[in-house]
Amino acid sequence: MIIDRYITYVRNVKRYSPRTVQLYEEVVRRYAVVAYGTDDVSDAQLVASLNPSEIRSYQVHLMDKDKMSPKTVRLHLSALSGFCRFLVKEGLMKSNPVRLVPKPKVEKRLPHFYKNESLETYFRDTEINASELYLNEFLKIPDTPAGKKLYEDRLARLIISMLYGTGLRRSELISLNVSDVDFGRKVVKVVGKGNKMREIPLVVSLCEEILLYLKAVGALTHEDRSLKSPLLMTYSGNRLYPAYVDRTVKRELGDVKGITGRRSPHVLRHSLATELMNEQADLNSIKEMLGHSSLATTQVYTHSSFARLKNIYERAHPRAKNGGKHGD
């Protein structure tokens, strides 16, 4: 079936994450069910149903019957648009009909972020976890319960350091191998969305933290690791997985003063971008560092920066403090 060919394409050619591949398959099959009552339809039937009228009906179904938010509906339409682009590429359609369907408007919200001061508090409080002293203690007892805790404390600190220090997506962090870190040039090579490769600079302190961590891993595995080995590993020797990273971030930032709201890897990414904007970093440089395909995606952080500037203005500017009235 054409759906199966499409899923193979996005998995092996586009190299989308497993989560994205699963979403795209669910969306296409859901569309078939809404159009025909089943996803067991012929390729010809499915292609014939992909027209602006049917797609608008699908959008109404998602909003009225399934009670989806405008943001989720737009996500479904985007996934369906990807399927249509594939059909055009395969010569089964002349053009993408999703482009002719108006999408529901979504209220723009500023990205949530943590203040740098709060994150610096975390790094000060956990500095011992990344130290050589901590490593030496671990090397004495790597295969004990106490050694496990020392290892996991170090790994947790490094996860936060790398997410905030590089702006990596969770999936990008998990997929890193030892060979992706160039300690000589102080960069990490990342394969992001759409199989696009980029290099992200590493500060000296983060390079040192990674090197000490790798010494701990070497003692744990009792073997020389190849360059293709996972950079970050659980205590049991497996590559990190999404739930592990999520739990770590939630736990590590749970009691940090000044950190409120959702505690997640992506908010650390937002936090770095916002801090770079506040420090007047070049917008295109931030775009390249984060791996955004469009500058418009990066520009959302200018709103966060402006909001902070506006808040400072209202607190500090003489005319703002007296309600805009002229002083004596």
The token duo for 29 is: 């099959």
Task: Please give the Cα distance from 184 to 198 (Å, whole number).
Answer: 17
Q: Which of the residues are catalytic?
A: 169, 193, 266, 269, 292, 301
Among candidate residues 241, 195, 233, the one with its CA nearest the CA of residue 214: 233
